[in-house]
Amino acid sequence: MSALARIAVDRNYGRFEWAVLDWNQPAIEFYASLGAVPQSQWTVQRVVGAPLAALASRWPGTVVTS
Exactly one of 31, 38, 64, 66 is catalytic; which is it? 31
Task: Please indicate whether residue 13 is annotated as part of the active site.
Answer: no
- Concatenated DSSP letters of the chain: -HHHHHHHHHTT-S-------TT-HHHHHHHHHTT----TT-------HHHHHHHHHT--S-----
Residues marked as catalytic: 31
